[in-house]
Amino acid sequence: MVNVQAHRSLLDRMLSDYALEPECLEIVPDVQAWCRSRNMEERNPWRSAKCLYSKDGCHIVMCETLTDSMIASAKSAMELKGFEAEVATLDTEVKYLVHLMLHEIGCFTLQTSEQEARDAWAFREMSRYVA
């Protein structure tokens, strides 16, 4: 389980590295509930994070607690898309969180919501933050 707020300074530094302000990241109890309160569709009740982006900026909403089942589900999805070797490198909570944050920053940086492109980019960028 990951307490996201405990890593806020790392996440803020990551945002800054991609020319994003700390205010771009909102840590919430439940991403699906956050979406529903804003009349936005979100079918996944275990969504870890979501990025709303345009060419002018982005807003990332991330769950304050990433449970072991959320993490396992996300890793399984990445493995099914061909990232088995890369997922094996996510062997600590911090590495997983760094990848998740990069995956969301990738929405804005790449201007796409396409999962595989964002995962590939996030794995390439990870060495900037973890060994």
Question: Does the pLDDT at position 97 exceed 90?
Answer: yes
Question: Does the pLDDT at position 114 exceed 90?
Answer: yes
Alpha-carbon gap, residue 113 to 120, rounded angstroms: 13
- Global pTM value: 0.95
In percent, how much of the chain has pLDDT > 70? 100
Alpha-carbon gap, residue 31 to 99, rounded angstroms: 18
